[in-house]
Amino acid sequence: MKAVIAAVALLMAVLCMSTGASANQIIIGAGQNHTTVHAEINDNIIVQLEGPRSTGHQGMLDFWPGPAVIQNGKPSFDPNGHGHGKAGIYNFPFVAVQKGLSTIRLEFARHWEANPQKSFIVTISVQN
């Protein structure tokens, strides 16, 4: 599955370069929780959320049905400081690949907890 996602992302990048289509970068943050964000095909979308690095909470990524957006690389973590338990910014990269709707849900939880410490959900509406 990861190979398919990587291949589609590479294909989209090649198509953007060959057709001259320009892609926008859309940054989605905590203030857009439970909203719909509008994008165009080939737009790069980055969900940026603050989260703890070393306290056992992990960002869990979940897609709901909708083929409009795919993951575009691995999530990354940018620390705001040094030391145990310091918060930082998680970056979850996506790309809009076709017209339609996709919903992204992220949850920060320890694997043994039934309820997440934090959750975030956003719907991406992709136009042509």
Q: How many CB atoms lie under 10 A from the CB of residue 124? A: 23
- Contact indicator for 81, 97 with CB cutoff of 8 Å: no
pLDDT tens-place string over residues 36-87: 999 999 999 999 988 765 555 555 666 555 789 999 988 888 877 655 666 7
The helix (H) or strand (E) run that includes residue 88 is strand 87-96
pLDDT, greater one: 114 or 102 = 102
- Contact indicator for 122, 66 with CB cutoff of 8 Å: no
Q: How many helices (H) and strands (E) does the chain have?
A: 1, 9
Given the structure tokens 């705001």, which residue do they identify? 80
